[in-house]
Amino acid sequence: MDGHDEVSGKLYEFLGDYWHGCECKARADEDLREARRKRTEDRLAFIRGQGFEVEVIWECDYRQLLKYDTEMKSFVTGRLPPFCRSYPTCVTAEQIVKSVLDDTLFGMVEVDIRVPDSWDEVVVDHKPDTNLSPYEYFKK
């Protein structure tokens, strides 16, 4: 759940289109989308079965609201952190590092790292001179 109103007890959920299987994201891997959609529907049914009222909004619907509802867009953009206002679309690793170093971006970041199976997959200017696999090398 993304929000809770203590007075009414209502719960709020923002459903990302990709991760929750929105039909607007129909693509080649339909089985994966349907599995994500079912998991989301089952979870929401369980929560509602516990007596909670849940209001949901899909990412695609939210984006449409921001396009056409100027009051809502103003409300949302006025509350964005300075970093997000400076980079309203995609950001590069360099922009993130620069912003961390100049103290305009701080906080916690979740990162998924996959260690390559072989050095052939590593794209860097200099590869370590080692007989270890990348996994063994980075483990040390």
Q: What is the pLDDT of residue 108?
A: 58
Section 10-14 average pLDDT: 95
* 74 and 134 co-located in one domain: no
Domain limits at 104?
Answer: 82-109
pLDDT tens per residue, range 76-86: 888 887 888 88
| Domain shared by 53 and 68, yes or no | yes
Is 18 exposed, middle or buried, given 0-12, 13-18 or 19+ CB atoms closer than 10 A?
Answer: middle
Encode pLDDT of 53-100 as tens digits: 999 999 999 999 999 999 999 998 888 878 888 887 788 888 888 888
pLDDT score at 81: 79
Quickly tell me which residue has 């396009």 as its tokens: 67
Shared domain for 57 and 8, answered yes or no, is: yes
CA-CA distance, 132 to 140, in Å (whole number)? 10
User: In this predicted structure, what is the pLDDT of residue 122?
Assistant: 67
Distance of CA 110 to the CA centre of its chain: 9
- 8, 20: one domain: yes
- Domain shared by 98 and 118, yes or no: no
Residues 68 and 19 in one domain: yes
The answer on 50 and 104 residing in a single domain is: no
Contact between residue 37 and residue 30 where contact means Cβ atoms under 8 Å apart:
no
Judging by beta carbons within 10 Å of its beta carbon (0-12, 13-18, 19+), is residue 121 exposed, middle or buried?
exposed
The pLDDT score that the predictor gives to residue 104 is 81
CA–CA gap between residue 56 and residue 20 (Å, rounded): 12
Among 11, 12, 14, CA closest to 57: 14
- Single residue among 78, 96, 130 that ends a domain in this structure: 78
137 contacts 128 by C-beta, under 8 angstroms = yes
The SS3 call for residue 30 is: helix
Overall number of domains in the chain:
3
Based on the fold, state whether residues 27 and 70 are members of the same structural domain: yes
Same domain, 70 and 134: no
**What percentage of the chain has pLDDT greater than the value 90?**
39
* Same structural domain, 7 and 74: yes
Q: Say whether both 12 and 67 belong to one domain.
A: yes
- Residue 49 in tokens: 């079965």
Q: Which of 121, 115, 120, 119 is nearest to 135 (CA)?
A: 115
126 has a pLDDT exceeding 80: no
| Same-domain check for residues 52 and 10 | yes
| Residue 86: per-residue pLDDT | 83
More confident: 34 or 108: 34
pLDDT score for 123: 63
Of 27, 55, 78, the one marking the end of a domain is: 78
